[in-house]
Structure 1
Amino acid sequence: MQRRWQRQLMGRDQIRGVGALGNRLRRLTCFDRLDEAHAFLELFAQASNQSRAAFRRRWAQASGHILRFGWYEHTGEELAFGAKLAWRNHARCLGRLYWDNLIVRDRRNVSTPEGIFADLCDHLALAQGDGRVRSVISIYPSARDNEPSSYVESPQVIQYAGYLGSDGQVTGDRRSVEFTRVVKALGWHGPHDPGPFDILPVLMRDGAGHRRLFNLPDGLVREVAIRHPEFPDLNDLGLRWYAIPLISDMILSIGGIEYPCAPFNGFYMCTEIASRNLADRTRYNLLPDVARCFGQSSYVSDVFWRDKALTELNRAMLESFEAAGVTMLDHHTATDQFMQFLSREGSAGRPVSADWAWIVPPQASASCEVFHLETTDLRTVPNFYRNRSTDGSDLRPFRGHQPRSSLRRFFERARRQMSHAGR
């Protein structure tokens, strides 16, 4: 009887997806799912001042559903709370000071690629508003057995194309070269005269894993022309960038339930575009051209030409967004806000998860206080991840140095028994 019960639970080891999605989702045992669900629902009960009796009723309902079907459904309040915690816990995000102000759109009733795309257009309109960017997440159905999920395959809803010429030169974003090749093979023709800032279509997969392309409506995407107040030669480069970074290829994990389609946006920090997207050799690689606009050359003896060009390009980026009325932060303000976040979380008795390589700005790094921090990625759920093989497999509830509860000890014994039974 015990062996049969163990095999039954081992068989419910993962809510399976189709094709590429199934390969990305975390492989959670039934005990993992119970463990994460219990930890999350307990956090929610504490945050919402639920009575212990109310928590026990909710836990009995959720655990019973997991044991019977392999999943459970979050209430709207639980979903919103979990999405905010996922942002708060994500170690690679610098801008978490206002995590509790995240606008959560519960769109679990929208499941088709056509419906999701149309709804994402509404998301974009809400997020960019009049230029004052709002942090928004739209959450679509969770991954379940026998209910294949549609999801966005594009890394971002808005991204620029990259064209590889016969001479080996790239027009546009080098990071998008392969993606551009894929969407062209699927039928996207692009503009007659390809340029460096052509907006790509959104690539989605339906429940059967089939790819679908959707073109963003004209006028929906707001772009900002990059100009410098003192060096008009920069204007001749025709640089621009879109106002909203809408991330669409990350999986949201809340209480043992995976949401493979949960696009979210914040707002840009100037160095993300000026010091990385436009300057990186694997992206636009425009720093030598930019330097010449400022009267510098990459071939002169001044070893600081790159520093000067990056500083002026960041200045142009920040002032251009401000002139357009679009929200953007400089890296000094952003890191100061992170230190405020760190202080608030410490006052609340919560440890902060942070990945040093991601939260330290690429420009003037040592002058920012975060440069001198010792950080740890606690890999806490709820959280976001892209792939179980890279950043998803080590996610787990954080318990600090608290003594193990009887429930935790039960889970650990069960895992050991399952491990031995499977040999």
Structure 2
Amino acid sequence: MFHEAHPDAGPVEARLAQVRAEIAGTGTYWHTREELAYGARVALRDSGWCTNVLPWRRLTIRDLRGVRDARAVASECVEHLRIAGGGGQIRPLVTVFAPDVPGAPGPCVWNEQLICYAGYRDGSGRVLGDGRYVALTETVRRLGWQPLAQPTAFDVLPLVVETAHEGPRLFRVPGDVVRQVPLTHPELPWFARLGLRWHTVPVVSHMKLVIGGVTYPAAPFNRWFVGSEIGSRSLADEAAYGLAREVAERLGLDTSTERTLWRDRATVEINRAVLHSFDAAQVTITDHYAEAMHRLAWLRSRRPGLRRPAFRLDPQSAQRSRFGGPPRFGVPPQRPEELTEPSGRLVLLTSRRAGAGRAS
């Protein structure tokens, strides 16, 4: 695919021979930077996560295949958030960490997104925060994370990064990379008093990137939010924040039966608040109608093929992102550590070390 799209790269036969020789000698092969970038862009485009208005050919690919240690992975995830935030103009970005190779599996991130809100269940069964992450919150607490003395509905969970040689480790997400938009409504003054907010950069972090048979288990990627992802799937949904009933009651709707469609009407107003607030804060966001048209266009143009580059979610990764397990490598958990700032020299040294290992 890469050679078809880039005739200047020369005939594919010579590259295939090189790849086969590498596989025969090491059990795997190393993508060129150009192949990696092309594969990641095609994977994001074909995944359906990338809208047609997004200039996928200009996506920024951060090649960090030499990074395997948990602390370095967490630091570069923070750097991803910092770069992608762009002062409100969300910048689509993919960060690719070390691949799985024979005898040395790559790292993985448990969190569904780099920024996830905690969910706390009290003795009566009521949930404060995001109900989708109650089990994950309990797991990271067992691993040593301590929430604030007075938990809130929007406490950011630590990153859980797992490596084969370290096990799962926790890292705090610094507050300066967690930009959040307070939610208000264009016509309902009381909506602001609900105290709702949401983070601005949706970095999907629990899916693996597969390109040409090579698997990168940690390859966080982002585009920008669709408003309904926040309003419908997160704030209104009973499995997450379950705010539809409270909003409906404040609107004076009849909630005694579902046939009044109070839930739909409340959800519409929540979605309106999300779009209004992000627009007012000058943060990139799209609505679900525009997204639907882009997805349909993508489906019409999609070419079938199981071996095309793709972001894929396996059942265990999905389970880790919600329930905090099972560990990928079965290594006993470590105590939490504070996240250090990323070091350009660290990345350079690890990249050189990986290159030296391949050369040997």
> TM over 0.5, yes or no?
yes
Partner of residue 103 from structure 2, selected from 116, 132, 146: 146
- Counterpart in 2 of 1:223? 180
Cα 1:339–1:168, aligned 2, differ >3 Å: closer, same or farther? Answer: closer
Cα displacement string for residues 43-75 of structure 1 (whole angstroms, at most 9, x for unaligned residues):
1111110476x3211110101111222100000
| Percent of pairs with identical residues | 36
Partner of residue 89 from structure 2, selected from 121, 128, 132: 132
Establish whether residue 239 from structure 1 lines up as the match of residue 199 from structure 2.
no
Q: SS in structure 1 opposite 2:95? A: strand
C-alpha distance in 2, partners of 1:318/1:65? 50
Establish whether residue 305 from structure 1 lines up as the match of residue 262 from structure 2.
yes
Partner of residue 381 from structure 1, selected from 308, 315, 337: 308
C-alpha distance in 1, partners of 2:248/2:303? 39
- Counterpart in 1 of 2:6? 48
Within 5 Å, which residues of 2 pair with 1:76-87? 76-87=33-44
What is the one-letter code of the residue matched to 2:184?
R
C-alpha distance in 2, partners of 1:262/1:294? 43
Tell me the CA shift for residue 269 of structure 1. 0.7
Cα displacement string for residues 324-353 of structure 1 (whole angstroms, at most 9, x for unaligned residues):
11111111122233345456x4xxxxx356
- Give TM-score, length-normalised by structure 2: 0.83
Tell me which moved more, 315-324 or 92-101.
Answer: 92-101
- Counterpart in 1 of 2:356? none
Q: Is 2:205–2:218's contact at 8 Å kept on the other side of the alignment?
A: yes
Partner of residue 70 from structure 1, selected from 22, 27, 30: 27
Q: SS in structure 1 opposite 2:161? A: strand
Cα displacement string for residues 89-127 of structure 1 (whole angstroms, at most 9, x for unaligned residues):
22x536244332321111112221111111111111111
Cα displacement string for residues 245-291 of structure 1 (whole angstroms, at most 9, x for unaligned residues):
11111110000100011001111111111111111111111100111
C-alpha distance in 2, partners of 1:390/1:236? 37
- Counterpart in 1 of 2:275? 318
Tell me the CA shift for residue 303 of structure 1. 0.8
Q: SS in structure 1 opposite 2:177? A: coil
Q: Is 2:3–2:9's contact at 8 Å kept on the other side of the alignment?
A: yes
Cα 1:185–1:200, aligned 2, differ >3 Å: closer, same or farther? Answer: same
What is the one-letter code of the residue matched to 2:204?
I
Partner of residue 281 from structure 1, selected from 222, 226, 238: 238
Q: SS in structure 1 opposite 2:260? A: coil
Q: Is 2:43–2:309's contact at 8 Å kept on the other side of the alignment?
A: yes
Tell me the CA shift for residue 176 of structure 1. 0.4
User: When the two structures are aligned, how many residues end up with a matched partner?
Assistant: 317
- Counterpart in 1 of 2:290? 333
Cα 1:290–1:388, aligned 2, differ >3 Å: closer, same or farther? Answer: closer
Cα 1:389–1:213, aligned 2, differ >3 Å: closer, same or farther? Answer: closer
Cα 1:263–1:55, aligned 2, differ >3 Å: closer, same or farther? Answer: same
Q: Is 1:288–1:297's contact at 8 Å kept on the other side of the alignment?
A: no
Partner of residue 170 from structure 1, selected from 122, 127, 131: 127
Q: Is 2:110–2:317's contact at 8 Å kept on the other side of the alignment?
A: no
- Counterpart in 2 of 1:35? none
Of structures 1 and 2, the larger Rg is shown by: 1
C-alpha distance in 2, partners of 1:352/1:331? 24
C-alpha distance in 2, partners of 1:270/1:387? 26
- Counterpart in 2 of 1:416? none
Q: Is 1:137–1:263's contact at 8 Å kept on the other side of the alignment?
A: yes
C-alpha distance in 2, partners of 1:51/1:181? 51
Cα 1:192–1:278, aligned 2, differ >3 Å: closer, same or farther? Answer: same
- Counterpart in 2 of 1:188? 145
Unaligned runs of 5+ in 2: 319-360
What is the one-letter code of the residue matched to 2:46?
N
- Counterpart in 1 of 2:51? 95
Tell me which moved more, 297-306 or 103-112.
Answer: 297-306
C-alpha distance in 1, partners of 2:124/2:231? 27
Cα 1:51–1:79, aligned 2, differ >3 Å: closer, same or farther? Answer: closer
C-alpha distance in 2, partners of 1:157/1:301? 35
C-alpha distance in 1, partners of 2:207/2:262? 37
Tell me which moved more, 118-127 or 332-341.
Answer: 332-341
Q: SS in structure 1 opposite 2:174? A: coil
C-alpha distance in 2, partners of 1:301/1:58? 61
Establish whether residue 267 from structure 1 lines up as the match of residue 220 from structure 2.
no
Greater RCO (Cα-Cα under 8 Å, separation 6 or more): 2
C-alpha RMSD of the superposition: 2.1
C-alpha distance in 1, partners of 2:206/2:86? 23
Q: Is 2:53–2:294's contact at 8 Å kept on the other side of the alignment?
A: yes
Q: Is 1:134–1:266's contact at 8 Å kept on the other side of the alignment?
A: yes
C-alpha distance in 1, partners of 2:218/2:316? 18
C-alpha distance in 2, partners of 1:311/1:352? 35
